[in-house]
């Protein structure tokens, strides 16, 4: 009987550990978007000051952040938001490549196109609460 109790306890602990690990896979969306905003502003500053290496690093971070955005929307089966996130990753890649080669004109062009893509997603899936926050609409 003690052996069954120990086995049951181990199984409960394993299920709890698995559930905890699964719950921690994705950061809250508002935290991802906060990082996106801060990194996006840093990217623009670095592009405007012709700091290619720093802009490329920001663009690489943006790619990673937009991968998190894609991971957020995927379980919700919100295909347009998933596609916005994929296009944002492609845009960040283009910005980074142009910044690495110090082609700031091309980087800024990609920046503007990516910013428009982001705006489209915000218009479609974000609602202003009027209280300084937003609701996400899948």
The pLDDT of residue 21 is above 50: no
State the pLDDT at residue 2: 74
Tens digits of residue pLDDT in 35-60: 999 999 999 999 999 999 999 999 99
Residues 6+ apart with CB under 8 A from 126: 134, 135, 136, 137
Residue 6 CB neighbour total at 10 angstroms: 10
Q: Which residues pair with 127 in a beta bridge?
A: 135
Residues 6+ apart with CB under 8 A from 48: none
Please indicate, yes or no, if residue 83 is contained in any of the structural domains.
yes
Please indicate, yes or no, if residue 14 is contained in any of the structural domains.
no
Residue 49 CB neighbour total at 10 angstroms: 11
Please indicate, yes or no, if residue 12 is contained in any of the structural domains.
no
Please indicate, yes or no, if residue 7 is contained in any of the structural domains.
no
Tens digits of residue pLDDT in 58-79: 999 999 999 999 999 999 999 9
Please indicate, yes or no, if residue 17 is contained in any of the structural domains.
no
Per DSSP, the residues of 2-13 read HHHHHHHHHHHH
What residue numbers bound the domain in which 64 lies? Answer: 28-136
Backbone angles phi, psi at 128, to 5 degrees: -75, 125
Stated pTM of the model:
0.81
Please indicate, yes or no, if residue 48 is contained in any of the structural domains.
yes
Q: Which of 71, 74, 58, 76 is nearest to 114 (CA)?
A: 58
Please indicate, yes or no, if residue 5 is contained in any of the structural domains.
no
Total of domains in the chain: 1
Q: In which band, very low, low, confident or very high, does the pLDDT at 20 lie, cut at 50, 70 and 90?
A: very low
Tens digits of residue pLDDT in 79-107: 999 999 999 999 999 999 999 999 999 99
Would you say 63 and 90 are in contact if contact means Cβ atoms under 8 Å apart? no
Please indicate, yes or no, if residue 100 is contained in any of the structural domains.
yes
């Amino acid at each position: 009987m003690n052996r069954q109790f120990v086995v049951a306890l181990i199984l409960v602990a394993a299920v709890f550990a698995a559930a905890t690990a699964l719950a921690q896979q994705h950061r809250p969306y508002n935290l991802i978007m906060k990082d996106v905003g801060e990194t996006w502003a840093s990217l623009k500053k670095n592009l405007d000051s012709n700091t290619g290496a720093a802009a490329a690093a920001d663009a690489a971070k943006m790619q990673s952040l937009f991968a998190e955005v894609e991971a957020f929307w995927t379980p919700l089966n919100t295909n347009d938001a998933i596609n916005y996130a994929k296009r944002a990753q492609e845009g960040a890649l283009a910005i980074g490549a142009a910044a690495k080669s110090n082609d700031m004109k091309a980087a800024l062009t990609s920046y503007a196109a990516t910013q428009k893509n982001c705006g489209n997603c915000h218009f479609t899936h974000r609602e202003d609460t009027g209280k300084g926050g937003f609701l996400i609409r899948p």
